[in-house]
Structure 1
Amino acid sequence: MDLLDFLTDEELIRFLQCKKTEITSYIEKPLTFLNQLRDNKLVPENLYQKVKKMKNKPKGVYEILEWVENKPGQHVRKFWRHLFQNHILREYPRLRGLKKRLLDGTFRISEKLPNAETPSSNTEVERKKKKQEQKKGATKRKKIVEETDEEEPGPSSASSQKKQAVKPPLSKHLKKGELPVICGDKEGTLYKDKLARGEKCILSEGVLYTPGDFERFSGREKSKNWKLSIRCENITLHELIQVNFHYLSDLQSAPLSPLQDHKER
């Protein structure tokens, strides 16, 4: 899978908006760059010919980048894909650092990119819809926590006999409020307080993700159920929540035996 697929159109557009000057400084001899865009129909012929004839080539490259920036998201995505092809990176090796910052996600932290507006007239509607979905998700998770608190069974002789600390290293992470999680080939750290509040709660490779986004980042988006695809010490988050959600909210009062019994089975 192309790593660009993990980035949204808005992120790719905004990154281009912020990096036009930097890219221009890297393209010292723009003929290969211009031909790449023309061959892949990323610029119109009249603009290609105009820039090719310009004496001030950096100004022409910047003008092309401005033109691409104002195109739809899929066009900008195609631009990045062709800019990072091997023969272009060999011709302009300084672009490799730009590629690394874009694909490893560090630009989200170091540059704190705001949401970009795409040329689509539906941008504002889509943004509001996304916020509503996030709010609904947070409300649903809060409801699960409250229902679990109400349904917690009272102490029994069997549970008191089996009551013991979870074997390390899981218990150590639980007491700290952090869970080591894995999904596919990606590892991360889940912060249970952030999960309970419906926030981005999984830190992986320097980026905070929601559980759903972390599932997509790991390439397991087809499962469409992060509670089953994300695991902690070989236990799915679904099992942790079903057996005793207190492990993700309040370790001080939660009985440990149900999780231990489930793990042993």
Structure 2
Amino acid sequence: MNPMDFLTDEQLIRFLQCKKTEISSYIEEPLTFLNQLRDYKLVPEDLYQKVKKMKNKERKQEGVYEILDWVEKKQGRHVKLFWSCVFQDHILQKYPRLSGLKKRLFDGPFRISARLSKAEKPTINTEVERKEKKQEQRKGETKRKKSGEEIHEEEPGPSSVSTQKKPAKKPTLSQLLEKGELPVTCGDKKGTLYRDKLARGKECILSEGVWFTPGEFEKFSGRGNSKNWKLSIRYKKTTLHKLIQVNLLFDSHLTVLRCQLG
């Protein structure tokens, strides 16, 4: 089965939205790429001719970005066809850097769930499963009480108090950092920051099923104009800048500058 079938149009469009600049930087000689999109009617003729006539390298890359932007906005219903065209062998041979993009799409944050073991599933999915199990347990307890299987008329005492479930305590910041996963927000977007990936300069924030660098997450939240993700992204009311200042996000021997990517 085509791995593309395991991804939704929404996921593929969001991936294109985040990678337009990256893709355009890979396409230095765009003619083969343009012809591929034209063959599958994924680019209007006037835009195709406009970009084809461009001579300057930077102008060509800007033209490719314009085409990708058009595909995202006008051809969203054909986004699977678009990615299938981009990942055909002759395109990957012409533009080998696109292979890394393909790997990130199929083997990264959008990893096919059918190939995942339970332990490999993202934390966000594990939390959903945990909540669903608790809801099922509560429903089962309610049914048993109604059927008279667990009716107790005992007076409240120390034993009954001890059996009551205590509300789960929210993990402290130190516990979250020790685990390596920190809930963060930027604007109205929520995500989980993975400390080890941040230290290695990789895409380290998982939000709505997509991996982002800090800079990309800032843009995704609509705050890209600030261009200062350390102040835009927060854990509760504390900025990442403050956490980095007090050396909580990085071990002292790690190079903090690597996280500047994105």
Which structure exhibits the higher relative contact order, with contacts defined as CA atoms closer than 8 Å and separated by 6 or more residues? 1
Task: Give the TM-score of the pair, scaled to structure 2.
Answer: 0.43
Task: Give the TM-score of the pair, scaled to structure 1.
Answer: 0.43
